């Protein structure tokens, strides 16, 4: 479980997160939603221990992420930041193999090589494995980074807008794969994902954490918390949830 207590984060004198307290239950997909500037990315970075808060506490599986050393943090959470890119000229396989770095520190073993192959296959990257990242489209690169985070094999994956450059087929492909990973069974992962596509949220999220202006608005199971009224208040525009072909979609009201 991720537990956040009274977390306040400031940058240049401005409070980005204001006394946020929330718990993320293990298993399933938790969608972090809210308008631009709500503090979603900052919250993910704080969970990963990359930001020192003014005050408050963040624990993941009992590990204090604020005081933990980077290798310990990396054994609990894999973070894929927003619009991440690398300047090194890597192939897709090489990038994904860096996901195993926390396990092998530059000396990959049999299990690491197997996980790299599984990650490539899981995210439909086999045919692109030997291509250089700078020769890929934005969406292909994005999938490569998600595969790298997956290969890290941590109980928690924190993904900041991983769908932003993807076409509908790959949005569905990645979300289906992430959904499978969070089901009970061997190698089950828990995922916290920042999403702006509310219909994707309605389809895949098990739980919702909604934020606005650096504060927590609401959190809980999607079916209970994600209502047209809540979304309209959160985003400051009329939104409604309708059912089309048996699935919830979010539309302007």
Partner 1 sequence: MVDRRLFLLGGLLVLACAAFLLWNLRAPYGFILGLRFTKLASLCVVGAAIGTATVLFQTIAANRMLTPGIVGFDALFIFIQTMLVLTLGGVGFAGLPALAQFGVEAAILVAAALGLFSIVLRKGAEDILRLVLTGVILGVLMRGLASLAQRLLDPSEFAIVQQASFASFGAVDRTQLAIAFVILTCCLLAALRIARYLDVAALGRGVALPLGLDYDHVVFIALGLVALLVATSTALVGPITFLGLLASSLAHAALPTWRHSRLLPAAALIGAVILVAGQFVFERLLGLQSTLTVVVEFAGGVLFLFLVLRRPRP
- 37 contributes a contact to partner 1 by CB under 8 A: no
| Among 54, 134, 176, 180, contact with partner 1 (rule: CB under 8 A) | 134
Q: Which stretch binds partner 1 (CB under 8 A): 33-41, 69-77, 184-192, 195-203?
A: 69-77
Report, in Å, the least distance between residue 226 CB and partner 1.
28
- 73 contributes a contact to partner 1 by CB under 8 A: yes
- Matching residue, tokens 């927590």: 216
Q: Which is nearer to partner 1, 23 or 85 (CB)?
A: 85
- 164 contributes a contact to partner 1 by CB under 8 A: no
- 55 contributes a contact to partner 1 by CB under 8 A: no
- 77 contributes a contact to partner 1 by CB under 8 A: yes
Instruction: Assess contact for 16 and 45: CB atoms under 8 A.
Output: no
Instruction: Assess contact for 156 and 132: CB atoms under 8 A.
Output: no
Report, in Å, the least distance between residue 240 CB and partner 1.
37
Q: Which stretch binds partner 1 (CB under 8 A): 29-37, 66-74, 210-218, 224-232?
A: 66-74
Task: Number of helices (H) and strands (E) in the chain: give both, helices first.
Answer: 10, 12
* Distance (Å, whole) CA 63 – CA 247: 38
Is 66 buried (19+), middle (13-18) or exposed (0-12) by CB count in 10 A? middle
In sequence order, the 6+-apart residues with CB closer than 8 A to the CB of 66 are 49, 52, 53, 57, 58
- 32 contributes a contact to partner 1 by CB under 8 A: no
Q: Is 183 helix (H, G, I), strand (E, B) or coil?
A: coil
Q: Which residues bind partner 1 (CB under 8 A)?
A: 48, 50, 69-71, 73-75, 77-81, 84-90, 94, 98-99, 101-102, 105-107, 134, 152
């Amino acid at each position: 479980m991720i537990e956040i207590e009274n977390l306040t984060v400031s940058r240049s004198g401005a409070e980005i997160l204001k006394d946020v307290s929330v718990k993320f239950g293990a298993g399933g997909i938790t969608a972090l939603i809210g308008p631009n500037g709500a503090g979603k990315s900052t919250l993910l970075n704080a969970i990963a221990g990359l930001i020192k808060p003014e005050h408050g506490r963040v624990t993941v599986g009992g590990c204090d992420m604020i005081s933990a050393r980077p290798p310990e943090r990396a054994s609990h959470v894999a973070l894929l930041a927003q619009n991440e890119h690398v300047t090194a000229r890597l192939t897709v396989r090489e990038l994904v193999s860096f996901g195993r770095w926390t396990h092998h520190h530059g000396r990959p073993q049999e299990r690491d090589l197997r996980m790299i192959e599984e990650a490539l296959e899981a995210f439909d990257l086999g045919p692109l494995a030997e291509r250089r990242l700078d020769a890929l489209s934005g969406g292909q690169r994005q999938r490569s980074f998600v595969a790298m985070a997956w290969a890290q094999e941590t109980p928690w994956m924190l993904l900041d807008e991983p769908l932003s450059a993807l076409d509908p087929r790959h949005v569905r492909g990645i979300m289906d794969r992430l959904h499978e990973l969070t089901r009970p069974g061997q190698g089950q992962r828990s995922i916290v994902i920042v999403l702006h596509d509310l219909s994707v949220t309605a389809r895949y999220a098990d739980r919702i954490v909604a934020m606005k202006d650096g504060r927590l608005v609401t959190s809980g199971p999607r079916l209970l918390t994600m209502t047209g009224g809540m979304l309209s208040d959160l985003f400051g525009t009329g939104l409604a949830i309708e059912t089309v072909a048996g699935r919830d979609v979010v539309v302007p009201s």
